[in-house]
A and B are shown apart, each in its own frame.
Chain A
Amino acid sequence: MSTPLLEVRDFVKHFPVSAGWFRPPEAVRAVDGVSFTLPRGKTLGLVGESGCGKSTLARLVLRLIEPTSGRAWLSVDGAPRELTALDPEALRRTRRHMQIVFQDPYASLDPRMTVGSIVGEPTAIFGELDRAARRARTDELLLKVGLEPRFASRYPHQFSGGQRQRIGIARALALAPSLVVLDEPVSALDVSIQAQILGLLQELKAELGLTYLFIAHDLAVVRHISDEVAVMYLGRIVERASADELYARPLHPYTQALMSAAPIPDPAVERTRKKIILEGSPPSPRQRFMGCPFASRCPIAEPACSTEPVALVAVAPGHDVACRLVSGRAN
């Protein structure tokens, strides 16, 4: 196999938090030992509930925040470049190859900049094109995301949520990156607009040969757009497989519960299918787990699940699960 576009090894991010007066600070274990590879031209979907660490992981990949430990490589011009070892200037130069689209199209665009200057800013920063060429590039980008070039002189508030997300996508594509991180790109949008943006992302990927790291909490959306899907719980990947395999044969009890909880817009199906209702809420990410972090809510957990360490292991080709009961059954 050729070198993957992105490789992440053992990423850990702990945020220190005060535990109270006169007590040593504790750590929120937002990301707790995550590894994956992302082949060029593919889409890896990261799903999980709020607080599972998926957005932190995205920011670590782009080095918008520094990992506590772990390493990552991005393939640039065919050679892997270690992102976690780059000095600030080298990192700045590498950033053009990896861009991000944020969740909230209202907060992620500067209200005092015109659309033209928002989309043209990355090219201006990298100083590659003169003013006229930059203008032409901006027009081309706006057309690519389905907006009219004459909109370049308008301001973000003149656009709807879906249109703003198109502007955010155009900005991310300005420097022709190879990796685009999409952090919940459709969850702030109305249902009738979500499908427009998903369709646009798929077209752009095919046309420009992009690679996506797609983060979302909506399982149906992630399955729709991803080649491979990783499910996260409390800072760890608990299951990973191709989208078809994962949804046809979810093995981790958490994945199964998550899938059964995702509502299907069809009363005939929704009212007859079996639902797994989990007890309680996820435990605090400040907690340290000896064993499986899901054990406290798991419908099939045994006492040993809370004490024995658990690792992500392959139970079938291309299908990894972090559950001692499931991997025990497979062997």
Chain B
Amino acid sequence: MMVLDWATAAPAVGAAFVASTVEVVEAFTIVLAVATLRGWRPALTGAVAALAVLAVVVASLGPALNLVPLRGLQIVIGVLLLLFGLGWLRKAVLRAAGLMALHDETAIFERERTRIGTEASGARSADWLAGMAAFKAVLLEGLEVVFIVLAVGAGRGLMLPAAAGALAAFVVVMAVGLLIHKPLAKVPENTLKFGVGVMLSSFGVFWTSEGLGAPWPGGDWALLGLVAVFLVAALALVSVVRPRAVEARA
């Protein structure tokens, strides 16, 4: 039986859990908006259909990834992670500095309710339209979760621990969401997104370096160092650009 080294698995599980929490919260907001407008039947039908599509994507991609040489996989995933992570971190820095509006689940919930309500009003296929809104939301956010699981897990054979992290996030968010029956506005999404941007960018540099044949000294422990460097740099950038937001508001 394979025994996983916790130092190796923990960053993958943690990154997958935190990143997936953000995505599942966003998907839940739309599904809840649909459910409060048209009932749970179209909301759950759309969500379950999207989960089925995602299962097909994962079942097709998983075996295909085994055919790609490890170094090639590390480069492709590393570069995609860098693009995704730096983009995410850029937005997080701008939000933290006050240069971009904060992500607000309650506002998104109200906006989506209005949009779906307008689209569905008078339409004979109102439930179909509402179900499609839930389908799209779960599919789009779910694809991001699939990418994150692949990205943090595939380079080291940690797909299962990363998938377990994502599944745990899904279970926790759904359980809390269904219990309180409101958008999960109290989840500190902006802080989580900042952390996820830092982690994804760090994984991106780590995997790309490994793929290029230029591994970091210290092996997997170097990830912690990369996380620290990205975190300090991102916080420094926040303090540099924050005055611009103050000037813009003045």
- Do A and B interact? no
Q: A residues near B, CB below 8 A? A: none
